Structure 1
Amino acid sequence: MHKRHPTKAIGGIMGNNEKTSKPVATKASNVLSNPASSKAAKTVAASALAQAGTSKATSAKVATVAAKALDDGRSSKTTKTLAGSVLTQKKGK
C-alpha cells in the first residue's frame, strides 16, 4: 500500500505550504505605509502581509493583479518581489 504524499490535496492538487518570509513582509509593510505606492502594489502587499505566518492562499483576484504587475515594465522591483511571493502562494499552481 502506498502512502499519500502529505502535501497532496484531494483531487491531486498540491496544497499550499508557502508563507510570506519576514523580509518580504517588511517590504509589504513599507509599501502599505508609503502614500505614493500604486493601488496594485498595495493590493499585493496587503495579500503578502495577510499570508505572513499563515498558510492562507492567494485569491484569484489578487493573483491576476500580481501577474499583471509582473508583466508591467513600470512596476518597481519591490512590487515584482511582492507579486512573485503572492503568486507562489496561490492554490492549484
Structure 2
Amino acid sequence: MTLPDLATVQAPWSVLQAGALLLAWALGAMALRLDICLRKPGVYALQPRGRAPEAADVETALRHTQSAVRWWMTMLAGGWLGWALMGAAGGPA
C-alpha cells in the first residue's frame, strides 16, 4: 500500500480549516501547559506572555502528551469494560 503525497492531496477548504483549528487548539494547550510562547511572526502568537521555548521543552511536551494519551486510553478501556460487563449481565439491575 502506498500513501499519498500530502503536498499534492486536494482537500475541501472546510476540512483544512477544521484540521488547522484542531492543530491550533493542541498547540495552544501545550503552550499554556509549558508556559511558553509559540509564535509565527506577523501571523499568530499562542500564549504571548509565556517565555521563549527551549530545546528541553520538546521532551517535556512529549512526556505530557504520552501521559494524556495513557489517561484517555485508560478511560476508554474502562468504559468499554463497563459496557461489556453490563451487556453480559443483561443491563443495569
TM-based fold match above 0.5: no
Q: Which has the larger radius of gyration?
A: 2
TM-score (norm 2): 0.25
TM-score by length of 1: 0.25
Q: Determine which structure has the larger helix proportion and give its number.
A: 2
- Answer 1 or 2: which has greater strand percent: 2
